[in-house]
Amino acid sequence: MASTSDIKNGAVLKLEGQLWNVIEFQHVKPGKGGAFVRTKLKNITTGKTVDKTFNAGAKVELATVDRSDYEYLYQDGEDYVFMDVKTYDQIPVSEAVVGDAAKYLLENAKVTIAMNEGSPLYLEMPASVVLEITYTEPGLQGDRSNAGTKPATVETGAEVQVPLFVEQGTKIKVDTRTGDYLGRVND
C-alpha cells in the first residue's frame, strides 16, 4: 500500500478491483481544513475518465505496471501479434487493448506495451508515424470551400485531413494522438 503522496502522472492505481491510470493530479492545501489530492483518472479497460479526490495521507493501492518495447508483426483475426525486442517472445494483444492505435500500426512498428501481471493493458505509440497516402482526390486550385484541406487515405486505412497540394503516393507524418497531418516527409 502507498499513500497519496506517491500519486503521480502515469501511475496506475487499483481501486475497487479496477485499474485506473492517473492523467492529472494536484495536491491542494486549503487555508482551512485538511489537505487533499485532486486527480483525474482513466479506466484502463473501459477508457472512462473520472475525477476523484483523496484525503492527504490516505492509503491507495498502486498496481505494478511493466513497460517493455515490442515490435508489431501481424494481425491474426481479432488479435495483433507483437514481439518483445529483447526476448523475441511473441504475444497476442486483443483489438480492444490496441484500440485507436491500430489506425497507425505498420508491420515492424516499434511500440511500448504496458503489462500488469502478464496481461497487456494498453499500447504507447510513438508521438508521430510516417505513412504513405494510398488515395486522395486531386486538389483543385482556388478551391477554399473546406479551408484548404481534403481527406486522404493512408496505407493503414486511416483517413487524415491533408492540405490541397498533397498528392497520392506522398509520405506524410501523422500525429498518433490526434490523427493530425504534421507535414510531408522527403525520402
Q: In this predicted structure, what is the pLDDT of residue 93?
A: 92
> What number is the average pLDDT over the span 111-125?
87
Q: Identify the domain boundary among 85, 100, 124.
A: 124
Comparing C-alpha atoms, which of 98, 64, 62 is closest to residue 80?
A: 98
Query: Are both 76 and 89 inside the same structural domain?
Result: yes
Query: Are both 39 and 89 inside the same structural domain?
Result: no
Query: Are both 7 and 58 inside the same structural domain?
Result: yes
Cα distances (Å, whole numbers) of residue 175 to 53, 112, 149, 155: 32, 16, 16, 15
Query: Are both 13 and 52 inside the same structural domain?
Result: yes
Q: In this predicted structure, what is the pLDDT of residue 46?
A: 79
Query: Are both 11 and 53 inside the same structural domain?
Result: yes
DSSP string for 105-155: --TT-EEEEEEETTEEEEEE--SEEEEEEEEEPPPPTT--TTTTEEEEEET
* Separation between Cα atoms, residue 154 and residue 168, nearest integer Å: 9
Tell me: the pLDDT tens digits for 3-48?
888 888 888 899 988 888 888 999 989 888 889 999 999 888 777 8
Answer yes or no: is pLDDT of 118 > 90.
no
Query: Are both 46 and 74 inside the same structural domain?
Result: no
Alpha helices in the chain (DSSP H): 95-98
Q: In this predicted structure, what is the pLDDT of residue 173?
A: 93
Return the number of other C-beta atoms located less than 10 Å from residue 19's C-beta. Answer: 19
CATH number at residue 50: 2.30.30.30
Query: Are both 135 and 89 inside the same structural domain?
Result: no
pTM of the shown model: 0.73
Domain of 162, in residue numbers: 128-184
Q: In this predicted structure, what is the pLDDT of residue 141?
A: 62
CATH number at residue 115: 2.40.50.140
Query: Are both 105 and 80 inside the same structural domain?
Result: yes
In this prediction, residue 187 has a pLDDT band, given cuts at 50, 70 and 90, of low
Query: Are both 47 and 22 inside the same structural domain?
Result: yes
> What number is the average pLDDT over the span 109-131?
89
Please tell me the total count of domains within the chain.
Answer: 3
Tell me: the pLDDT tens digits for 63-100?
888 889 999 999 998 899 999 999 999 999 988 888 88
Tell me: the pLDDT tens digits for 121-172?
888 889 899 999 999 888 666 655 556 788 899 999 999 998 888 888 999 9
In this prediction, residue 110 has a pLDDT band, given cuts at 50, 70 and 90, of very high
